[in-house]
A and B are shown apart, each in its own frame.
Chain A
Amino acid sequence: MTANDCLQIGLFLVVLLLLVKPVGSYMAKVFADAPNRVTRAGAPIERVLYRLCGVHAGEDMGWKRYALAVLAFNLLGLLAVYLLQRVQQWLPLNPQHFGAVAPGSAMNTAISFATNTNWQGYAGESTMSYLTQMLGLAVQNFLSAATGIAVLVAVVRGFARKGAQAIGNFWVDLTRATLYVLLPLSLAMALLLVSQGVVQNFRPYVDVPVVQASSYVETSKDAARREVSKDVPVTTQVLPMGPAASQIAIKHLGTNGGGFFNANSAHPYENPTPLSNFVEMLAILLLPAGLCYTFGAMVGDTRQGWAILATMLLIFAPLAVGAVAAEQAGNPALHGLAVDAQAGALQPGGNMEGKETRFGIASSGLFVAVTTAASCGAVNAMHDSLTPLGGLVPMWLMQLGEVVFGGVGSGLYGMLAFAVVAVFIAGLMVGRTPEYLGKKIEAHEMKMASLAVLLPCALVVVGTAIAASVPAGAAGVANPGAHGFSEILYALSSASNNNGSAFGGLSANTPFWNVLLGICMFLARFPLIVAMLAMAGSLAAKRHVPASAGTLPTHTPLFVALLACVVIVVGALTFLPALALGPIAEYLMSAH
């Protein structure tokens, strides 16, 4: 670790923490039941929208109605993205004349974007028309994120309301999350990105003459099936274009992560400067961190929100430092060669395979941790080429259930499920009915919380076992040995926690992988939402239990430590055996 590595990590955390309260208290106003300055300002637009869509804003939904609305809306969105990909060849804004996306890939992509995963089995610049990117993918970036926020707000209302039958109106929550939170932030961020060099236009790709012409050898089979090689001259370079900035802004703010280009945030048109990189990292954690404060404000005790945020930071900070340190230490396999990987004033050194010069080690390593702590999945370095321990960090951050920040909304409702489990364990220790935020935690809540905690774990483990044991699964692996197993484990961890990043060597655009990962992404999203809403419904109906001497306070360092332990123990017990076969085995073999 160099001094600048530490400085960049420290600066990032400080700026993030300074933004938590302003962003969090703004969102608390947006989702408040009582009208206020923010919602009054947008009321005319909301009224028009609701009238057009036949929505009664005053309708307070029970949890079942809320869940049905979430499901109907998201499944329709999923269908729309699928259809758009299948007919893009007949639609406008397709200057490169891309054909229809293959059914399996289109299905996988539709699930991927509707579940806020944004796993990408395709390469953007050679597959998707501008219209598909804008009207299908970017729209789901907004709506899947808004859905996550809406569900979280409904769950928090479950804790905040007393003796209530309803947990809010999904249409209103969805609209407010989109119009008041995601849109204005995206607009500002998109312009900032363009100022740094991210493209935003509707032009066809540009052909420029290259300064030094070259050639490459192309081998093909002739009519008699003999191999023939020919020299293909390279005199021009294709520069991809498109409405990228508008999509990239929401890709980060909504913890979506689906790149406009194949190389995602490593692409210079998607992330051109260290400053754009800093803003992109900040945008990933901004709303998940801010929502912690919103949660505290909504339950009437901001200390509760800070305690959750402290838990997340307690797990995140050491892992982020670990990722940077592992990458800075470099790849021992290159030590025997005449390579200078020493950090100094003139170069960052370390493991630069798959990394960009402008980001070096610190800006790449921190991005690795940020994008997998949150369920974003954007990448500014190729995770497949990370050192074994540098690659273990993002894998484990996903396996922890995407609750260390996690996706917008989904991360915090996942963490609240863990909080319920934590107070339950504490309650067992002293033999007392557990309470959280003044609500008794009983069998029904425990069942729902356990389901939310355990379902993604099961999907990862079972999915990995299937993929590793059938030929169609192992066929996609690109790297030999333990690292090949890591590619499989990473893919399942990513899909089953709605992250979307990949060890990109894995050839996952095959029927087997498209179906397996599609199922995992779907099951990791919607059953969890229903479970959490069911918990919210039953909590909302409960009376408030006043705190007594026997109540475990949930805003103290003791609770923060307990909650962090529960998250880590579940993650470690479930995944250490699998990790031992992948990154840990690779580390032990390469180090000595």
Chain B
Amino acid sequence: MSRLLRQSFLMLLAMTVITGVLYPLAVTGLAQVLFPRQANGSLVVRDGRPVGSALIGQSFTDPKYFWGRPSATAPMADNGAASGGSNLGPSNPALTAVAKQRIDALRRADPGNDAPVPVDLVTASGSGLDPQISPAAARYQAARVARVRGLPADRVQALVDAYTQGRQLGVLGEPRVNVLELNLALDALQKR
């Protein structure tokens, strides 16, 4: 029995060194050489300073910006230190109530737009950090953003199209628009 315990202990130690030290160090080394931008968080850099990550959504509530997916993180939306979803069940009245609030907020920001709201703008994302919205959700907001910014509507829609990614390899996932990059592009457009 003591031989078995010694073997167990030594095997655990050896395997810990291999899979817990050598392996992650090897992956880190290779990743930092081959894909340094991705390995360090896909940061978006403007004027030499990071202003966010292309993969992590930020909260936008100003009508001049495109709004992203609702986020259920606490204490504030899009909290990078506490990812997670709402975990509201489909039949929970709280889910319907918060969906109503989101519809009202969108309509208050864009009076006169009575089109039904794309579902991804009224439902919280799984991570609370979803960086993207559907092209339908971008199209729904394009007229509002154009009006508030005093830009021609087709100019804004052209920008949306430029930041729309199709399905990966033509099949996988869904078409999507990166909200942070789109909003930064809008700001850059008007700075000039």
Binding site for B on A (CB under 8 A): 4, 7-8, 11, 49, 52-55, 68-69, 72-73, 76-77, 80, 123, 125-126, 134-136, 138-139, 142-143, 171, 174-175, 178-179, 182-183, 186-187, 190-191, 194-203, 205-206, 208-212, 214, 216, 218, 232, 234, 237-241, 243, 245-247, 249-250, 261-263, 266-269, 272-275, 277-278, 330-331, 333-334, 337-341, 344-360, 362-364, 379-382, 384-388, 478-484, 486, 503-505, 586, 589-590
Given contacts A182-B19, A212-B60, 10 further A-B contacts (CB under 8 A): A52-B10, A201-B41, A234-B76, A245-B31, A266-B85, A274-B172, A347-B119, A347-B137, A357-B174, A382-B126
Query: By the criterion CB–CB under 8 Å, are B90 and A73 in contact?
Result: no
Q: How far is the CA of A53 from the CA of B18 in the complex (A)?
A: 14
Interface members, chain B 1-29 (any A CB < 8 Å): 1, 3-12, 14-16, 18-21, 23-24, 26-28
Whole-angstrom distance from the CB of B60 to the nearest CB of chain A? 5
Q: Is B133 an interface residue (CB 8 A)?
A: yes
Offer 24 A-B interface pairs, CB within 8 angstroms, sorted by A.
Answer: A53-B7, A53-B14, A54-B3, A80-B16, A125-B83, A178-B19, A197-B38, A197-B55, A200-B28, A201-B32, A211-B65, A212-B60, A262-B83, A333-B91, A334-B99, A337-B99, A339-B99, A347-B137, A354-B87, A356-B127, A358-B173, A364-B126, A381-B126, A479-B92
Q: How far is the CA of A357 from the CA of B179 in the complex (A)?
A: 11
Whole-angstrom distance from the CB of B53 to the nearest CB of chain A? 5
Q: Is B168 an interface residue (CB 8 A)?
A: yes
- Knowing A142-B19, A352-B123, A358-B174, say if A273 contacts B103 (CB, 8 Å): no
Q: Is B110 an interface residue (CB 8 A)?
A: no
Q: How far is the CA of A245 from the CA of B42 in the complex (A)?
A: 14
Interface members, chain B 21-57 (any A CB < 8 Å): 21, 23-24, 26-28, 30-32, 34-35, 38-43, 49-57
Partner of A262, one of B69, B84, B118, B120: B84
Q: Is B141 an interface residue (CB 8 A)?
A: no
Whole-angstrom distance from the CB of B140 to the nearest CB of chain A? 8
- Knowing A68-B4, A273-B168, A358-B176, say if A333 contacts B90 (CB, 8 Å): yes
Chain A residues in 8 Å Cβ range of B15: 139, 142-143, 174, 178
Q: Mark B111-124, 1 if CB is under 8 A from A, else 0.
A: 00011111110111
Binding site for A on B (CB under 8 A): 1, 3-12, 14-16, 18-21, 23-24, 26-28, 30-32, 34-35, 38-43, 49-62, 65, 69, 75-93, 95-96, 99-100, 103, 114-120, 122-137, 139, 167-169, 171-176, 180, 183-184, 187
Query: By the criterion CB–CB under 8 Å, are A200 and B69 in contact?
Result: no
Query: By the criterion CB–CB under 8 Å, are A195 and B38 in contact?
Result: yes
Query: By the criterion CB–CB under 8 Å, are A186 and B171 in contact?
Result: no
